């Protein structure tokens, strides 16, 4: 895994200081690739990478060229089927100098152009420079596992794996975009290609872009799709199980390919236990597993984690995260997320990946994707219950089913009937709304916007972020089942924009660790998308087919345990006198007024309310995290200078393409 960056003055005749600019960007993302660095220079262009060596440690240096040296690549990712693609290239007479997937990618592009993307099974973001056409080609994997951000203005273009690299360039303005913040305070993330910052964009998952003298063009090469209600195949569960077993086994197997040790996260839940079972079956050697526990028992899953570790006989490292550690590491986490966060959940993941790196592990297998594509989240069951309730909106018993989904929310368990209807009854009867499954969640989250300052609130008063979602829906969306619609929204917005970014790539790569996700193998995704709904959500039994598949592979207690979502304490200390100094600073009246994002009176009232109450409402907890992280984001990326140290790249390999 690596970090990549580049600049291209595609409509300029001037010679820019490309080498220094690329070095500035790379120095700020050195954590993504601490092992090596390199830069390729051409007229008006520079592209570079920092490398985390995982495959072909001795000869995989970047930038790298194809056989003819027409195409030069910088690449962040892994193509898991590259051995097969490499064999195909050799059969075609292509001479390969290395054993790494980087060379396979650039050679495949030289042969097939953008069509090569459809042959890749992996997680990637890369850029290829065509010396003849004077064109940059940039691409991102199907679901957005690896990041790629860009900026363009007045014929100048820059890209980087992380936004902080772009902000090292003097010509790029740094400011928050109020409309995009409104999206985050609704969906937990922006709708791609937007980011929290003005004029900073993200290449959308499943897309590629070309930059040349004529400008910038975008094209989609893959999209998540589901069959219409009429097209759903009546496959038997036994047939589905057989195919699923083969696919998942291979998805795990190809992700174990590495020239360094591979570990696994073991949460104590179904998904990570199943992937661990496959790993032990494929490679019975000693497996290093890692898990997070919490002193607060409402969040802790240690007992299940220990049971799974004993069952698989792994070399297990357990890490207990405290509330103080969450507070102490909040700012560093925001430096890596580059987005406001509405939960503290990324922080323990950052600390866990640090433990992994301290164990000299560079690669971990994790279970992300199973909940999205096998209907594991409560939001899928919640929508089903709300539709059931909408058939008899005056029923007193039907809304009580919703409390069973959230046993960990004590305020909900004690709520009277009228309160349940107030909380869950929002637009209850609008079951024909294509966004029905998510409208309630987004409405509740959007209350965070009430804490915005008058200036920010005025700038977004005529915009409803939810209206933007309607515009992005596929043409055939209405033909899908209700569950398929829910899954599409969850995977393309929350999973891609938050789970795989703020809680995934950024937390792992912040400690130079690469995460790999068997459930996000595109073959597994496409298989799960074609399954009948009842093989995913059977009545209210989530991940039905995965539970069936797990029988005999993992402890029965884990297969049959109630679903517990991964959460971390919101840390009431964030608003307490014992909070770290930086927290008190960014929540002070001076900085709240200076930054101008939030209403001082409302923020003070929220903090005072938090101190008074033993149990803090979910919306208030999200508001605390959102306000704190946004204030930190402004302080780190806008109020203070972005300092890069190009001396970190003293051994950077420079290739001057103008001399060839």
Q: In this predicted model, what pLDDT tens digit does every residue of 536-578 receive, in sequence order?
A: 999 999 999 999 999 999 999 999 887 777 767 675 556 556 6
Q: What percent of the chain has pLDDT over 70?
A: 95
Work out whether the CA dihedral 111, 115, 119, 120 comes out positive or negative: positive
Q: Are strands 71-79 and 122-130 parallel, antiparallel or unpaired?
A: antiparallel
Which band of pLDDT confidence, cut at 50, 70 and 90, is reported for residue 433?
A: very high
Tell me what the mean pLDDT of segment 456-471 comes to. Answer: 92
In order of 47, 279, 521, 635, the CA distances from 274 in angstroms are 40, 9, 15, 42
Task: Determine the Cα–Cα distance for residues 38 and 48; give it in Å rounded to an integer.
Answer: 5
Cβ atoms of 629 and 340 within 8 Å: the answer is: yes
Question: Alpha-carbon distance 423 to 149, whole Å?
Answer: 37
| Across 248-259, average pLDDT | 93
Is pLDDT larger for residue 450 or for residue 13? 450
CA distances from 480 to 308, 531, 545, 561, 626 (A): 37, 12, 20, 30, 34
Structure-model confidence comparison of residues 646 and 80, the more confident one? 80
Model confidence at 189: pLDDT above 80: yes
CATH T-level topology, domain 237-373+490-559 = Rossmann fold (3.40.50)
The better pLDDT of the pair 653, 491 is held by 491
For 520-541, the pLDDT digits (tens) are: 999 999 999 999 999 999 999 9
Mean pLDDT is lowest, of 207-216, 287-296, 501-510, for 287-296
Secondary element (H or E) of residue 290:
strand 288-294
Nearest to 181 by CA among 503, 574, 456: 456
Asked whether the predicted pLDDT for residue 649 surpasses 90, the reply is no
Q: Which residues contact 68 (CB under 8 A, 6 or more apart)?
A: 110
Helix, strand or coil, per DSSP, at residue 260: coil
**Neighbour order of strands in the sheet with 207-212:** 64-65, 71-79, 122-130, 135-140, 207-212, 215-220
610 token code pair: 């938090």
User: What mean pLDDT is reported for the chain?
Assistant: 91
pLDDT for residue 88: 96
- Measured CA to CA, the distance from residue 2 to residue 54 in angstroms comes to 10
> Counting beta carbons within 10 angstroms of the beta carbon of residue 467, is it exposed (0 to 12), middle (13 to 18) or buried (19 or more)?
exposed
Question: What H or E segment, with its residue span, contains residue 619?
Answer: helix 618-634
pLDDT at 295: 78
Three-state DSSP class for 412?
helix
Q: How many CB atoms lie within 10 A of CB 67?
A: 16
Q: Give 105-117 pLDDT, tens digit per residue.
A: 999 999 999 999 9
Determine the pLDDT at residue 260: 80
Q: How far apart are CA 17 and CA 43, in angstroms?
A: 10
Q: In the prediction, which pLDDT does 611 show?
A: 79
Strands (E), 214-283: 215-220, 262-265
Planar angle of CA 167, 140, 216, nearest 5 degrees: 65
Report the alpha-carbon distance of residue 461 to residue 453 in Å, rounded. Answer: 12
- For 322-340, what is the mean pLDDT? 93
Enter the tokens of residue 98: 């290395």
**Would you say 575 and 582 are in contact if contact means Cβ atoms under 8 Å apart?**
no
Q: What pTM does this model have?
A: 0.95
Q: What pLDDT is stored for residue 243 in this prediction?
A: 97
**pLDDT tens digits along 127-139:** 999 999 999 999 9
- Rg, C-alpha atoms of the chain: 24
Is the predicted pLDDT of residue 3 greater than 60, yes or no?
yes
pLDDT in tens, 406-418: 877 666 767 777 7
For residues 634 and 616, is the Cβ–Cβ distance under 8 A? no
The residue-averaged pLDDT of 209-230 equals: 95
pLDDT at 650 > cutoff 80: no
Does the structure show a pLDDT above 80 at 56? Answer: no
Q: How far apart are CA 629 and CA 586, in angstroms?
A: 9
Answer yes or no: is pLDDT of 370 > 70: yes
**Domain ranges across the chain:** 2-223, 237-373+490-559
Mean pLDDT within 490-514: 95
DSSP secondary structure letter of residue 638: I
> Is residue 446 within 8 Å of 163, Cβ to Cβ?
no
Token pair in block for residue 603: 């923020």
Catalytic machinery residues: 2
When the candidates are 3.30.1330.40, 3.40.50.2000, 3.60.20.10, 3.40.50.1950, the CATH number that belongs to 2-223 is 3.60.20.10
pLDDT score of 90 more than 90: yes
pLDDT value of position 572:
57
pLDDT at 145 over 70: yes
């Amino acid at each position: 895994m690596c970090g990549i960056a580049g600049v291209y003055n595609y409509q300029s005749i001037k010679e820019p200081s490309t080498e220094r600019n690329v070095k500035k960007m790379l120095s700020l993302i050195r954590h993504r690739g601490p092992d090596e660095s390199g830069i390729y220079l051409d007229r008006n262009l520079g592209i570079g990478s920092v490398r985390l060596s995982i495959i072909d440690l001795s000869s995989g240096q970047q930038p790298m060229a194809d056989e003819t040296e027409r195409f030069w690549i910088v690449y962040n990712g892994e193509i898991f089927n590259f051995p097969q693609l490499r064999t195909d290239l050799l059969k075609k007479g292509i001479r390969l100098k290395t054993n790494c997937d980087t060379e396979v990618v650039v050679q495949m592009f030289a042969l097939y152009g953008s069509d090569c993307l459809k042959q890749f099974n992996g997680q990637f973001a890369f850029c290829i420079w065509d010396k003849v056409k004077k064109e940059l080609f940039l691409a991102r994997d199907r679901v957005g596992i690896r990041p790629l951000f860009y900026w363009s203005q007045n014929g100048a273009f820059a890209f980087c794996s992380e936004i902080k690299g772009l902000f090292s360039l003097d010509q790029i303005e740094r400011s928050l975009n109020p409309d995009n913040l409104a999206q985050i305070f609704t969906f937990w993330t922006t709708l791609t290609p937007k980011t929290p910052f003005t004029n900073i964009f993200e290449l959308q998952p499943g897309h590629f872009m070309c930059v040349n003298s004529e400008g910038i063009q975008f094209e989609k090469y893959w999209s998540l799709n589901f069959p219409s209600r009429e097209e759903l195949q009546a496959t038997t569960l036994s047939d589905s199980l057989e195919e699923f077993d083969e696919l998942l086994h291979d998805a795990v197997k190809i992700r174990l390919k590495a020239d360094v040790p591979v570990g696994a996260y073991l949460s104590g839940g179904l998904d990570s236990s199943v992937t661990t079972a496959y790993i032990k079956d494929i490679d019975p050697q000693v497996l290093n597993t890692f898990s997070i526990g919490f002193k607060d028992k409402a969040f802790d899953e240690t007992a299940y984690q220990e049971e799974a570790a004993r069952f698989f006989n792994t070399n297990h490292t357990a890490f207990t995260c405290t509330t103080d550690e969450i507070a102490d590491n909040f700012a560093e986490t925001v430096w890596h997320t580059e987005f406001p966060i509405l939960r503290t959940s990324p922080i323990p993941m950052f600390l866990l990946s640090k433990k992994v790196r301290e164990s000299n592990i560079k690669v971990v297998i994790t279970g992300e994707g199973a909940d999205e594509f096998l209907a594991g989240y409560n939001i899928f069951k919640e929508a089903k219950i709300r539709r059931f309730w909408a058939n008899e909106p005056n029923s007193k018993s039907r809304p009580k089913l919703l409390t069973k989904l959230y046993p960990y929310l004590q305020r909900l368990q004690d709520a009277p009937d009228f309160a349940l209807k107030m909380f869950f009854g929002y637009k209850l009867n609008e079951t024909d709304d294509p966004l029905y499954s998510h409208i309630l969640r987004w409405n509740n989250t959007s209350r965070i916007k009430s804490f915005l300052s008058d200036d920010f609130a005025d700038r977004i008063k005529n915009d409803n972020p939810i209206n933007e979602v309607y515009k992005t829906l596929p043409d055939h969306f209405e033909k899908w089942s209700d569950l398929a619609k829910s899954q599409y929204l969850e995977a393309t917005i929350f999973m891609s924009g938050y789970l795989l970014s703020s809680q995934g790539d950024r937390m792992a790569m912040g400690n130079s660790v690469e995460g790999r996700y068997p459930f996000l193998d595109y073959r597994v995704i496409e298989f799960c998308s074609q399954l009948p709904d009842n093989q995913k959500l059977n009545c209210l039994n989530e991940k039905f087919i995965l539970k069936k598949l797990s029988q005999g592979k993992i402890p029965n207690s884990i297969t049959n345990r109630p679903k517990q979502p991964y959460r971390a304490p919101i840390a009431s200390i964030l608003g307490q006198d014992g909070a770290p100094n930086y927290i008190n600073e960014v929540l002070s009246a001076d900085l709240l007024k200076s930054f101008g994002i939030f209403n001082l009176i409302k923020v003070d009232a929220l903090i005072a309310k938090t101190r008074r109450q033993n149990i803090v409402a979910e919306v208030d907890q999200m508001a605390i995290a959102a306000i704190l992280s946004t204030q930190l984001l402004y302080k780190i990326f806008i109020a203070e200078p972005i300092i890069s140290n190009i001396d970190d790249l003293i051994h950077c390999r420079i290739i001057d393409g103008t001399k060839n």
